[in-house]
Chains A and B, each alone.
Chain A
Amino acid sequence: MGIWIEENAKVLVQGITGKQGMFHADKMVEYGTHIVGGCTPGKGGQTVELQGKNFPVWNSMFEAIEATDADATVIYVPPPFAGEAIMEAADAFDQIKGEGVVVCITEGIPTLDMVKAVAFVENRPGVRLIGPNCPGIITPGENGGAKIGIMPGHIHAKGRIGIVSKSGTLTYEAVAQTMSIGEGQSTCVGIGGDPVNGTGFIDCLAAFEADSQTEAIVMIGEIGGNAEQEAAAWAKENVSKPIVGFVAGATAPPGKRMGHAGAIISGGKGTAEEKFAAFEAAGIACAKDPSELGAVLLEALKKAGLRNE
């Protein structure tokens, strides 16, 4: 199972003829993702070769979804055009299928473009936006699986831990930590480090709680905003599965943007200390060091009766 993306989900790539799009589309095919083609306006009718196989390119997302019945799309379009690419995909999924998953990898989209795009997607309740500025989403399978994004596929294995994170490489770190204690992942979602994004922590927690494959959750936050605090309070009331957490940025100075556009402590709000406190108040087991996530998770699994040794 896993959440939102099944192992054999049919996936389109927006910006498939670009350098980034083609590189990552190739990696996705290599992993076993069921890529069905891509979309680049003006290049419809061409094909793109990935792992020795040819994939069709369409001019529009309407054409592409009509032709392939895709379940999801992943966007590698440059920032000036990415907001519109999200809306095109959402519109096409909504009109043709009434549902679909839009994963936006692009970093550096203007915030007001995202304000517009997120409102547009929210008007189409069957459509889910993940990102932007994120590593994507992966549901590992027995053989391959669905990797929709830029994460290194080979570090994952199918299992029962759901992972949600604002950061890319820190998600990989969390994946490696689950592997170090012999646990695989149900689905890993990178929700992105921008101030305005689509899917949030609470959406992921709710889906993991409902997913039969997921038995425990790792949640990784970072400084800025109060999404982690809200998610922790929500989890306390609504999540029965064990959660393990970490928040990056305890040493970040206030008022300075730490790489991610959203990672900034403003007006003394959004500190790591605040977020850790919210996690602990909600009964989330915290690691103060990401290298200890595995150990903390193992402890939580034992406490929940999910591991014996």
Chain B
Amino acid sequence: MNIHEYQGKALFKAHGVKVLDGVHCTSVADALQAYDALQSKVVAVKSQIHAGGRGKGNLYCPNTGDLLMEGGVKIAFSREDVETYATNILGHVLVTKQTGEEGKLVNHLYVESGCDIAHEYYLALLVDREEKSVLIMASTEGGMDIEEVAEETPELLHKVNVDPNAGLMGYQVRDLGLALGLSGAAHKSFAKMLRSLYALFVQEDCAMVEINPLVRTGDNEMVALDAKVSFDENAEFRHKNWDDLRDLSEEEDVEIRAKETGLSYVKLDGNIGCLVNGAGLAMATMDVIKLYGGEPANFLDVGGGANEEQVKTAFSIILEDPNVKGILVNIFGGIMRCDIIARGVIAATEALDLNVPLVVRLAGTNVDEGKAILAASTLNIHPADDLADGAQKIVKLIGGEA
């Protein structure tokens, strides 16, 4: 789960990580008030969306598609600048290299004081899957695309893994500071910040915290100029405040509804809907559809113990996508019994007045009963023997080449 920069910075502030003064705004009037309150000669006017590349993105009018402004993060030198930038940003669509062509509607703005920058650094904390621990990455090459730094100048990317039993050690903090060429007050400021960030990462159950750029000011203070924070969704049960931080407009409505009913759904661009049990098999089903010349319309895992109602919800979610021209159901019954799935499929097709071709492949527990139930129905359901057979059948039925 991602949060906005302004929320991340509030979290930083609460944990003693130095940030500049700033105000979260949702209107141009708010932005002007923020400018007056901040009393800073220069301010940054920053679009708030859950995607990177904001500075180099472009703002478009959602109705006409006209280009309104280049750059989703602007430096304003006057009250008039703030008004112009805020007007161009709020209610408009920001397209960055991470948003895709459709871009994202900007509803939130962050107006932040300026500061005197001596150098820009990169700092991130994340979970290292291979080392099974928290990894800290830092570089003197701040403000850059860090993947490029890792690729082209890996010696400039410094890494430290934190032993979960020992926690972040003093020598690790010192070594990282030295690797960044910091000394004196700047080193001290960096050490304090890193300790606070590690504590924040653990206490708040983060998946990632990225600061790019982290800056050293003219006064040798380390300040987080950006804040990209994401949380581990599995830990939601112990963070009641995440509900308030969640920006639902940033998430696909249908994916949220799927999650509420215990389904895992991801929309894709193809035209063959899939309904599968198990994440691995659901991915494999998409792969095999593609292998036989089709394009999957979605990933959908109904989980290990789906009931008739969930199967029905799954069908209705798949059918909401107007691109869907056919559906492939692929169930390997373990705990889930094929006869129950078969009944669920029939109930759903009847209730939803299904009018696209449906191929059903059943295997595993009670498969014979399941197949018999489908065969006895008068509905137009095409049975399949295995995954390859199912994929070929559905591709053919929607008029593709299999």
A contact residues vs B (CB 8 Å cutoff):
24, 27, 79-80, 108-116, 118-120, 123, 135, 150-152, 154-155, 165-173, 176, 193, 195-196, 220, 222-227, 230, 246, 248-253, 256-263, 267-268, 272, 288-292
Contact = CB atoms under 8 A, between A and B. Distances in A.
Interface string B46-64: 0000000000000000000
A169 B287 contact: no
A30 to B, nearest CB: 12
Interface in B227-272: 232-235, 237-238, 264, 266, 268
A153 to B, nearest CB: 9
Contacts of A257: 266
A156 B190 CA distance: 57
B173 interface: no
Given A259-B264, A259-B278, A260-B280, 7 more contacts: A169-B277, A222-B280, A251-B290, A256-B266, A259-B301, A291-B386, A291-B387
B132 A118 contact: yes
A249 B287 contact: yes
B164 A115 contact: yes
Contact of A258 (B202, B277, B279): B279
Interface in B207-243: 207, 232-235, 237-238
| Best-buried of A113, A120, A168, A267 by chain B (most CB within 10 Å) | A168
A248 B283 contact: yes
Nearest to A269: B147
Nearest to B391: A289
A267 B137 CA distance: 15
Contacts of A289: 287-288, 291, 387-388
Contacts of A258: 264, 266, 279, 282-283, 299
A252 B299 contact: yes
B264 A119 contact: no
5 contacts: A173-B363, A227-B129, A248-B283, A251-B286, A260-B280
B370 interface: no
A3 B386 CA distance: 30
Contacts of B291: 288-289
B278 A170 contact: yes
A268 B334 contact: no
Given A169-B277, A259-B279, A290 B304 contact: no
B365 A151 contact: no
Contact of A167 (B280, B290, B299): B280
Interface residues of B, number: 52
Given A169-B278, A259-B264, A267 B288 contact: no
A261 B234 contact: yes
Q: Is the interface of B mostly helix, strand, loop or mixed?
A: mixed
A120 B164 CA distance: 9
Nearest to A291: B388
A193 B284 CA distance: 14
Contacts of A116: 164
Given A115-B127, A169-B277, A291-B388, A152 B299 contact: no
B286 A252 contact: yes
Given A172-B332, A248-B287, A110 B279 contact: no
B281 A170 contact: yes
B334 A252 contact: no
A239 to B, nearest CB: 20
A170 B280 contact: yes
B26 interface: no
Contacts of B70: none
A13 B130 CA distance: 29
Given A170-B278, A258-B266, A111 B127 contact: yes
A247 B128 CA distance: 21
B22 interface: no
B333 interface: yes
A152 B333 contact: yes
Nearest to A118: B132
B364 interface: yes
A224 B280 CA distance: 12
Interface in B110-134: 127, 129-130, 132-134
A155 B234 contact: no
